[in-house]
């Protein structure tokens, strides 16, 4: 089974070459956002929540080189907000309420969903778009309902959730490299 999983993984990553221009353009959108003084927000459920947190850490901390911190927030981390909003408004609103409270025109929201059908991510995207916030969908399978709702859809064409998630983290690492490569190098540098 290990050989089979490795072969599937390699094929899935090789297929990313067919969507390379879309991946590159999404990274450029995020870089421009940060250089303009805005922020990146990210959300998703389960493993995609972990990916949102991982990506925010790469932007606020660093990916591979020393530089100043830039603003990125995973909307998946504040248990008080998640449980209060979930209790008072329903789980469908846990990310949309945060976008409404934290987001500003010029920001970017990344919605991560292996199915493309996560209702709370769809609501976050709807909220973001109504506020003039650029939206990027990091999706799987056929892109689902989110594909047509985001400004930029990055769809990993696979039916296996694990392979989609592996490709998603690869793309997030590529974006972290792409963004970091376009940012000023020193800790004290400002935009």
Q: How many CB atoms lie within 10 A of CB 17?
A: 8
On whether 58 is known to bind a ligand per the annotation, the reply is yes
Q: What is the pLDDT of residues 75-103, one digit of tens each?
A: 999 999 999 999 999 999 999 999 999 99
Q: Using the 8-state DSSP alphabet, how is residue 54 labeled?
A: H
Joined together, the tokens standing for residue 157 give: 């064409």
The strands making up 134-140's β-sheet, listed across from edge to edge, are 72-74, 40-43, 108-113, 134-140, 152-156
For domain 19-28+41-181, which architecture applies?
Answer: 3-Layer(aba) Sandwich (3.40)
pLDDT at 183 over 90: no
On whether 54 is known to bind a ligand per the annotation, the reply is yes
On whether 173 is known to bind a ligand per the annotation, the reply is yes
pLDDT at 186 over 90: no
CB 184 within 8 A of CB 33: no
Q: What is the pLDDT of residues 122-139, one digit of tens each?
A: 999 999 999 999 999 999
| pLDDT, average across residues 110-132 | 98
Q: What sign does the CA torsion over 31, 32, 36, 37 have?
A: negative
On whether 88 is known to bind a ligand per the annotation, the reply is yes
On whether 66 is known to bind a ligand per the annotation, the reply is no
pLDDT at 191 over 90: no
Q: Give the span between the Cα atoms of 50 and 38, in whole angstroms.
A: 23
Nearest one of 169, 177, 179 to 53, comparing CA atoms: 169
Q: How many CB atoms lie within 10 A of CB 143?
A: 21
On whether 114 is known to bind a ligand per the annotation, the reply is yes
| Per-chain mean pLDDT for the chain | 95
pLDDT-derived band of residue 188, with 50, 70 and 90 as boundaries? low
On whether 53 is known to bind a ligand per the annotation, the reply is no
On whether 113 is known to bind a ligand per the annotation, the reply is yes
Q: What is the pLDDT of residues 59-68, one digit of tens each?
A: 999 999 999 9
Does pTM surpass 0.85? yes
Whole-number percent of the chain with pLDDT over 70:
97
CB 98 within 8 A of CB 66: no
Q: Using the 8-state DSSP alphabet, how is residue 117 labeled?
A: -
pLDDT-derived band of residue 187, with 50, 70 and 90 as boundaries? low
Q: Using the 8-state DSSP alphabet, how is residue 106 labeled?
A: T
Q: Give the span between the Cα atoms of 154 and 176, in whole angstroms.
A: 15
Domain boundaries, the chain: 19-28+41-181
């Amino acid at each position: 089974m290990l050989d089979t999983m490795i072969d599937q993984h390699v094929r899935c990553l090789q297929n990313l070459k067919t969507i390379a221009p879309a991946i590159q353009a999404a990274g450029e959108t995020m870089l421009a956002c940060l250089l303009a003084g805005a922020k990146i927000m990210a959300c998703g459920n389960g493993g995609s929540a972990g990916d949102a947190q991982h990506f925010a850490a790469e932007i606020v901390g660093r990916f591979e080189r020393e530089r100043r911190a830039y603003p990125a927030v995973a909307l998946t981390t504040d248990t008080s907000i998640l449980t209060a909003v979930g209790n008072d408004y329903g789980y469908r609103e846990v990310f949309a309420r945060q976008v409404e409270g934290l987001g500003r025109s010029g920001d970017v929201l990344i919605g991560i969903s292996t199915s493309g059908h996560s209702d709370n991510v769809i609501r976050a995207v709807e909220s973001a778009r109504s506020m003039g916030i650029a939206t990027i969908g990091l999706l799987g399978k056929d892109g689902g309902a989110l594909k047509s709702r985001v400004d930029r859809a990055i769809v990993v064409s696979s039916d296996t959730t694990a392979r989609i998630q592996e490709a998603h983290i690869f793309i997030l690492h590529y974006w972290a490299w792409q963004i970091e490569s376009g940012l000023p190098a020193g800790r004290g540098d400002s935009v």
